[in-house]
Amino acid sequence: MGDNFFLLTLIFLIAKSYVVSRFVFNLEIENVMQELILFLANAGSIMLILSLVAIGKKETLKWKLLVTNILGTSILYFNVVYYRFFNDFITMPVLFQTDNASDLGGSIVSLMNPLDIFLIADFLLIFYLFKYVNFVRNKQKHFKFAFASVLILLLNIGLANIERPQLLTRSFDRQMLVKNLGVYNYHLYDGFLQAKTNMNRALADNSELAEVLNYTESIKRPVNEEMTGAAKGKNVFVISLESTQNFVINNKVDGKVITPFLNQLISQEDTYYFNNFYHQTGQGKTSDSEFLFENSLYGLPRGAAFFTHAQNQYKGLPSLLKEKGYTTSVFHSNNKSFWNRDVMYRNLGYDNYFSESYYKVNSENTIGWGLKDQSFYEQSIPYLKDLSQPFYSKFITLTNHFPFSLEQEDESIPEWTSNDGTVNRYFTTVRYEDEALKLFFERLKEEGLYENSVFIIMGDHYGISQNHNDAMGQYLGKEITPFVNTQLQRVPMIVHIPGETNGRTISNVSGQIDVKPTILNMLGIKPDEDIQFGSDLFTKDPDQFVVLRDGSFITDKYVYTDQKCYDKRTEKLTEQTACEPYIKQAEDELDYSDQVVYGDLLRFLEEKKQDD
Question: Does residue 391 share a domain with residue 515?
Answer: yes
Q: Which of 197, 271, 286, 328 is catalytic?
A: 286
The CATH number of whichever domain residue 380 belongs to comes to 3.40.720.10
The answer to whether the peptide bond before residue 414 is cis (omega within 30 degrees of 0) is no
What pLDDT, on the 0 to 100 scale, is given for residue 524? 96
Question: Is the same domain home to 176 and 251?
Answer: no
> Is 487 inside a domain boundary?
yes
The pLDDT averaged over each successive group of 10 residues in the chain (612 residues) is 71 89 81 87 87 77 84 89 78 63 57 80 74 59 80 86 70 75 85 75 83 94 96 97 98 97 97 98 94 97 86 94 97 86 92 95 88 97 97 97 91 95 96 98 98 98 94 96 97 97 97 98 91 97 96 97 95 96 95 94 76 55
User: What is the domain extent for residue 309?
Assistant: 228-532
Q: What is the pTM of this model?
A: 0.80
- End residue of a domain, out of 532, 566, 592: 532
Residue 84 in domain: yes
Structural contact between residues 24 and 118, judged by C-beta atoms closer than 8 angstroms = no
Question: Do 76 and 166 fall within a single domain?
Answer: yes
Is 130 found in the same domain as 268? no
Instruction: Note the pLDDT of residue 5.
Output: 73
Query: What value does the CA radius of gyration of the chain take, rounded to a whole number of Å?
Result: 26
pLDDT reported for residue 21: 87
Say yes or no: 246 and 189 in one domain.
no
Number of domains in the chain: 2
Same domain, 130 and 274: no
CA nearest to 277, candidates 477, 479, 518: 518
pLDDT value at residue 107: 61
Domain membership flag for residue 120 = yes
Torsion of CA 331, 515, 172, 470, to 10 degrees: 80
Q: Is residue 214 part of a domain?
A: no
The reported pLDDT for the residue numbered 365 is 92
Neighbours of 562 (CB within 10 A): 18
Q: Are 505 and 275 in contact (CB under 8 A)?
A: yes
Q: Is residue 560 part of a domain?
A: no
Q: What is the pLDDT of residue 516?
A: 98
**Annotation marks residue 286 as catalytic:** yes
Peptide bond into 390 cis (omega under 30): yes
Do residues 81 and 162 both lie within one domain? Answer: yes
CA distance 576 to 580: 6
One-character DSSP codes across 322-388: HHTT-EEEEE--S-TTGGGHHHHHHHHT-SEEE-GGGS---TTSEETTEE-HHHHHHHHHHHHHHSP
